[in-house]
Structure 1
Amino acid sequence: MSICAYATFYNPEDHDDERDGVLAAWREAGIEGRAEQWDDPTVDWSAYDAVVVRSVWDYLDRRADFLAWARRVERGTKLLNPAAVLESNTDKTYLRELGVPIVPTHWSPERLPYWEEYVVKPAISAGARDTIRTTDRGRAEAHAAALAAAGRVPMIQPYLDMVESEGETSLLYFNRRFSHAVRRTPMLTPGKTGADQVLADPRTPAPDQVELAEKVLAAIPQALLYARIDLVRLPDGSPVVMEIELTEPYLYLRYEPRAFANLATALRELL
């Protein structure tokens, strides 16, 4: 029987509601899984057939330490997703290199385009942290400038009204095979904060969304145990990439009866 680590973080409130289902599905697939705290110095990661990066949700304040850990783990065993993927994916400037349509993005605090409403965020962030939504161009410029002054790359985007009606569509792939999709509740609607729980409902993606998601996957050469590709539509109806989650995404496994088994099958294939 293969033995795999489920890399997580210390959280006394234990918000990871997918872990137990994942470990149960691994057992059914003939894989013994053990949850391990990613920054625990006593863990012998080389004793595992693979280390699966999951709920490492505290890495953001220690990104350099996290990436150094990933490289160390990869020298001793298989890391999923690989360290090179984690390094690229934790800095959203990867969007510039994809070669596929993305949400219009301005990468400098200077000469902002004239949009009705702005979303401004740092390229290295998660969960809407340090992100603002505003109709005030001056405030958008000031926030972008503050990010740049702190050594952070700002991302300035138009707020898309289609997010309210169409929503964000997240397509989930395990070992590059489509598993399921959900429509996600916008995080930046009035009255919400990044700390609010994101709600979702199952969705069948449209053919143009599947086509775009598969172009994204084709642009990434490394092995991918999991990939969550978040898409939105522009006002003209065309789909664009909002974000690609390859590091520690919530996978919405409870929204598809076969999702836990799909993930376990993908892991077994990659071992």
Structure 2
Amino acid sequence: MTHTPNMTPTIAFIGVGNMARAIIEGLLATGYPADRLWVTARNVDKLSDLGDRGLHATSDNDNAILNADIVVLAVKPQGMQALGETHRASVQQKRPLLISVAAGISAEALERWFGGDLAVVRCMPNTPSLVQTGAAGLYANAKVSPAQKAQTETILGAVGLTLWVEQEAHIDAVTAVSGSGPAYYFLMMEAMAKAGEQLGLDAETALKLTLQTALGAARMASESELSPAELRARVTSPKGTTEQAILSFQAQDYDAMVLKAMTACRDRAQGLSEELCND
């Protein structure tokens, strides 16, 4: 990826947890200039490795904000209101694009806490971003320009797939599908490896076969022009071994079970938003 001056805004990361670090590493891997990246933490010692690589590392949030075109808000949701109220003056002076990766915080609440009339993007990334295979749902409020949307795609695209949703409420559905989704697959892997052991395999063999099968299935599905349903049908021979496993899942209404679980996830995301944003 080529980064020209017009396409290389200065980005400040407020907070440096796993997700912020993943995005920073992804940007650096694409050739993004380190001197256009700021990162903050209360304990600047936590940033020594990033400072050594040419990033601006500081414990001064205001300084980072005032030097940034884009501010990535990567603090915990419970700390977002205090952050906004503390640094509202700097945000209003600079008026950067705000990108929030905090779950449950609405665009309206972010605008309110940081002083109003601001371009805000909500992002729901997921943990595979840590290995540059993430999936992020994005929502932009009406003040976000096409250029800022493109900049957001560059930032989050450094760690995986980015897709926009038109309605902010759909971010909660993104949470249910991809935000929390990796855990569903980990649960399936855990159960399959355990079942493999119970069927006689040693633990290492069962786990390795499970993980490689998950990897292979995901790669086939992502690279194929066929739908997952068609791919499943093609490996499910009538009266064969796979069919017996599929029939067992279906007898327990597998689709309904997945929908119920993901609806519970969506509902909790909505509840968190109500709890965190009503002050």
Q: TM-score, normalised by structure 1?
A: 0.31
Higher RCO, Cα 8 Å, sep 6+: 1
Larger Rg belongs to: 2
Higher helix proportion: 2
Higher strand proportion: 1
Q: TM-score, normalised by structure 2?
A: 0.30
